[in-house]
């Protein structure tokens, strides 16, 4: 697909010239489409904005319009590489012609053009002194419309530290050993978001859509997971419940790797979010994703750092939280055998996942409860710990009060839970 067409389509779809202005794109980048580029630039000078789709297509009736879902970084890299290739071929042809007559002259010419063939490092930037008005406007808006900027997690006491999941620039990693309830927490928070009216996308590498559906029913209404699994009678699990779900306008979409042709990449996830107007994306296992830009020889650390950056970019570009599950790479135990809280260094495959994440929630079992430890919180205090009594059968999480700002050993915590319940 021609990258110049992709970029122009993105500009007229979003009615936004930032791709041209922020990356310094010029007429040269749009070889074969100069007239379209000139029209956009002239229109923006006259009307102080980019032309919309209708205006552009009215001018270019034969234009191949489509919604471009590629991320900005990939498009800019492609068009820069394309221009570099075209320029290099042109200069090498000139050098080849000179070489037939005088080798020294050809070498001198080639040396004079070397600097122009070095890729330009175009840096995207924002002058924050000129955009303070936008920040103040958003700040005022938040005071009255906090739900416009955050989606509640469904864990009220966790939200006291996170305010919920931010709609944009939010990559949340749920970290734990196997069997510690990562998927349960993910399904609980995504179900709560759906209950609040969000369109949710859930990528399930290990469970079928049907099984995720049962766990959704369990998280939403507290229907016994054991009874659902065994087909036993459940009060309220009937046509009335079905009609209640079908009456809702929002959706909870479950997709497996097979639905993506066996290969799930960030670019495919981006398209999945755009096409279905998702408000939240959940991935039940980041290790199942593949890098769009994988190159032979890339280590797992590089691969997952790239994937994490792309997921964060999806959140930034689309204004939605992205929540992923990651496996702890080993058992985390203290000298006395107690299970300890997994840290960023325990993230399997790549520490790049933790670096890109805005929040990392580490899960461990403690007595009859489950601890959610906020070990990274870009927008607040780190190392906040919340303990719940967890009923895995009904997916019920009951908060267990703790002594504020007091260091409590796991043994004491177990005693406290025994006293409360």
What CATH code is carried by the domain that includes residue 375?
Answer: 3.40.50.300
User: Which domain range does residue 416 map to?
Assistant: 139-420
Residue 30 CA to residue 337 CA, distance in Å, equals 63
26 and 153 part of one domain: no
Residue 251 CA to residue 373 CA, distance in Å, equals 30
358 and 242 part of one domain: yes
143 and 95 part of one domain: no
With CA atoms as reference, report the closest residue to 308 among 289, 280, 330.
289
**Helix, strand, coil percentages, rounded to 5, for the chain:** 50, 15, 35
- The residues near 238 (Cβ < 8 Å, ≥ 6 apart) are none
- Tell me, yes or no, whether 123 lies in a domain: no
Question: Tell me, what's the pLDDT at 116?
Answer: 64
- Tell me, yes or no, whether 127 lies in a domain: no
105 and 253 part of one domain: no
258 and 358 part of one domain: yes
Question: Tell me, what's the pLDDT at 403?
Answer: 52
155 and 82 part of one domain: no
241 and 373 part of one domain: yes
Length in residues, the chain: 421
The residue assigned the tokens 């050809």 is: 106
The list of the chain residues with pLDDT below 70 reads 1, 115-125, 330-338, 348-350, 403-421
97 and 212 part of one domain: no
Strand order in the sheet with 384-391: 252-255, 200-203, 280-283, 322-327, 171-176, 359-366, 369-377, 384-391, 396-400
Question: Tell me, what's the pLDDT at 350?
Answer: 63
Q: What is the 3-state secondary structure (H, E, C) of 126-190?
A: CCCCCCHHHHHHHHHHHHHCHHHCEECCCCHHHHHHHCCEECCCCEEEEEECCCCCHHHHHHHHH
152 and 288 part of one domain: yes
408 and 309 part of one domain: yes
- Tell me, yes or no, whether 131 lies in a domain: no
Question: Tell me, what's the pLDDT at 412?
Answer: 39
Question: Tell me, what's the pLDDT at 418?
Answer: 34
Q: What sign does the dihedral 211-214-216-219 (CA atoms) show?
A: negative
Do residues 347 and 328 make contact, with C-beta atoms less than 8 angstroms apart?
A: yes
107 and 18 part of one domain: yes
- Tell me, yes or no, whether 134 lies in a domain: no
Question: Tell me, what's the pLDDT at 348?
Answer: 66
Q: What sign does the dihedral 189-192-194-197 (CA atoms) show?
A: negative
Do residues 389 and 369 make contact, with C-beta atoms less than 8 angstroms apart?
A: yes
- Tell me, yes or no, whether 321 lies in a domain: yes
183 and 102 part of one domain: no
Residue 287 CA to residue 311 CA, distance in Å, equals 13
Looking at residue 294, what DSSP letter applies? -
- Tell me, yes or no, whether 320 lies in a domain: yes
- Tell me, yes or no, whether 396 lies in a domain: yes
Q: How many domains does the chain have?
A: 2
- Tell me, yes or no, whether 159 lies in a domain: yes
């Amino acid at each position: 697909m021609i990258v110049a067409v992709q970029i122009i389509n993105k500009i007229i779809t979003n009615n936004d010239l930032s791709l041209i202005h922020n990356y310094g794109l010029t007429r040269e980048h749009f070889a074969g489409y100069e007239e379209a580029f000139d029209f956009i630039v002239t229109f923006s000078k006259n009307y102080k904005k980019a032309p919309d789709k209708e205006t552009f297509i009215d001018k270019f009736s034969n234009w191949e319009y489509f919604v471009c879902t590629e991320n900005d970084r990939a498009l800019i890299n492609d068009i820069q590489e394309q221009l570099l290739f075209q320029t290099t071929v042109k200069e090498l042809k000139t050098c080849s012609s000179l070489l037939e007559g005088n080798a020294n002259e050809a070498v001198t010419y080639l040396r004079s053009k070397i600097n122009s063939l070095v890729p330009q490092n175009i840096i995207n930037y924002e002058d924050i002194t000129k955009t303070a008005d936008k920040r103040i406007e958003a700040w005022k808006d938040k005071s009255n419309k906090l739900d416009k900027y955050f989606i509640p997690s469904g864990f009220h006491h966790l939200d006291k530290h996170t305010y919920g999941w931010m709609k944009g620039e939010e990559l949340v990693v749920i970290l734990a050993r196997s069997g510690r309830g990562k998927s349960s927490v993910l399904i609980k928070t995504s179900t709560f978001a759906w209950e609040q009216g969000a369109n949710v996308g859930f990528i399930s590498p290990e469970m079928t859509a049907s099984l995720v559906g049962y766990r959704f029913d369990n998280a939403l209404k507290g229907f016994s997971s054991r009874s659902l699994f065994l087909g036993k009678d459940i009060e309220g699990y009937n046509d009335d419940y079905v009609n209640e779900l079908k009456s809702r306008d929002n959706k909870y979409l479950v997709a497996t790797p097979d639905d993506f042709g066996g290969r799930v990449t960030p670019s495919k996830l981006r398209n999945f979010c755009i096409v279905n107007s998702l408000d939240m994306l959940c991935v039940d296992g980041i290790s199942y994703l593949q890098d769009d830009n994988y190159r032979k020889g890339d280590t797992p650390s590089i691969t997952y750092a790239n994937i994490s950056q792309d997921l964060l970019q999806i959140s930034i570009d689309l204004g939605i939280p992205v929540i992923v599950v990651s496996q702890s790479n080993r058992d985390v135990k203290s000298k006395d055998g107690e299970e300890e809280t997994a840290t960023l260094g325990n993230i399997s495959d790549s520490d790049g996942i933790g670096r890109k994440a805005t929040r990392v929630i580490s899960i461990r079992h403690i007595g009859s409860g489950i601890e959610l430890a906020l070990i990274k919180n870009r927008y607040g205090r780190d190392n906040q710990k919340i303990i719940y009594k967890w009923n895995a059968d009904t997916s019920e999480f009951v908060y267990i009060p703790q002594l504020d700002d007091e260091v409590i050993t796991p043994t004491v915590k177990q005693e406290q839970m025994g006293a409360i319940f």
